[in-house]
Amino acid sequence: MPGHPNLLVGLDRRDDAAIYKISEDLALIQTLDFFTPMLDDPYIFGQIAAANAINDVYAMGGTPFLALNIVCYPQCEDMEVLGRILAGGLAKVQEAGAVLAGGHTVDDNEPKYGLAVCGMVHPGKVIDNAGARAGDILFLTKPLGNGVVSTAIKAEMVADEAYQEAIKWMSMLNKEAAEVMQEVGVNAATDITGFGLIGHLYEMAAASNKEVELYASQVEFMSGVMEYANLGLIPGGAYTNRNYLSDKVEYKDEIKGVLRELLFSPETSGGLLIAVNESKAARLQTALQQRGCQCFQVGKVIGDEFRPIKIRR
C-alpha cells in the first residue's frame, strides 16, 4: 500500500529500495536485483551481481544484514559454474557484514543471479533521492563506463587494463561512501545503475522538485571507455535512456562526440550520486578520500522548482 503510514519510501518514488518504519528507532530497507552475466568468469559475475543489489541499501544510508539468493539456471548446464557464481555472491555478502540465509532457484534457459537484501537504518537518518536542496553540490563516487566495457567484453575487444578496472569498480561495495554520508550528513543520494547518470540525476531532481545542472567535462570515465565508445561499442540501453529523457534535459553547451551517449549509458553497481550542502562539500570530499573512495563534482542544484536538467560543457 503506497499510502501506508509506516512506508517511508515506496512506489510513489523511483528510489533504490523500499523503507518501512518498524519502530521509532528502526526502519527496514528492502531491495532486490538480479541480471544475466556480462562476463565469462562465474565467480566475478557473482560478486558483481551481489554488490549491485547490496549497494541499493548503502544508497539509502543503511546497513545490510540479511540476503537471499535469486537464481535462474538451466538444469542441463554445469552445476560447478553455478557453485562459483554463488561463491562470488557469498563473498560480497560476507564483506558487507551480512548473512546469507538461503534463496530460491528455478530452471531457466538463461542464467540469472542476484540477491534480495534487507538492511536497517534509523528512521531519522534515511537518505533518499528526494532531499536535494538549492545550492547543493553534486558528487559522484565512481567513474562511469562499465556498460561500454561490458559491451567490449562481449565483442571480445576489451584490453586487460580496461577489463580489470571495470571489474574493480563493479564489484566494489559502496559501504565506505555510505558511512561517510552518515558521518557528514548529506541531503540526498542515489546509486548509478541501469538508468545511467542522467536518468538517476533526473529521478533525484524530480523527486526533490529541484532544478539541477550537470558539468559534462567533469565526469570521469574508466580506462578505454572513450576509445570503445568511438568504435560504436555503446550499449543499446544508452539510446533507450536518451530517447526517454529527451524532454527532460536541455543542452546549454555543445556536447561533442560520444560524450552525450555516455552520460545516458547504463551502469552496473555504479557509484553514489550525492547531494550535499555547499558548506559540507569539502568535508565530504576529504572524508571520502581518506577512506580510499573516488569523489568528483559533477553538478549543482540551482533552483527550487524542477525544470529540464541543464547540461553544460
In which region does residue 130 sit, left (phi positive, over 0), alpha (psi from -120 to 50) or beta (all else)? alpha
pLDDT at 138: 98
Domain boundaries, the chain: 7-125, 137-312
Q: Closest Cα to residue 258, out of 229, 221, 228, 219? A: 229
| The CATH fold of domain 137-312 | Phosphoribosyl-aminoimidazole Synthetase; Chain A, domain 2 (3.90.650)
pLDDT at 2: 57
Q: Going residue by residue through the chain, which has 313 residues, state the pLDDT in tens, using 9 for 90 and above.
A: 557 899 999 887 788 899 999 999 999 999 999 999 999 999 999 999 999 999 999 999 999 999 999 999 999 999 999 999 999 999 999 999 999 999 999 999 999 999 999 999 999 999 999 999 999 999 999 999 999 999 999 999 999 999 999 999 999 999 999 999 999 999 999 999 999 999 999 999 999 999 999 999 999 999 999 999 999 999 999 999 999 999 999 999 999 889 999 999 999 999 999 999 999 999 999 999 999 999 999 999 999 999 999 999 9
Rounded CA separation 207/22 (Å): 24
pLDDT at 260: 93
The answer regarding whether domain 7-125 maps to CATH 3.40.50.1980 reads no
pLDDT at 54: 98
Instruction: List the beta strands (DSSP E) in 7-136.
Output: 7-9, 18-23, 26-35, 63-73, 99-107, 112-121
pLDDT at 233: 97
The 10 Å Cβ neighbour count of residue 85 is 25
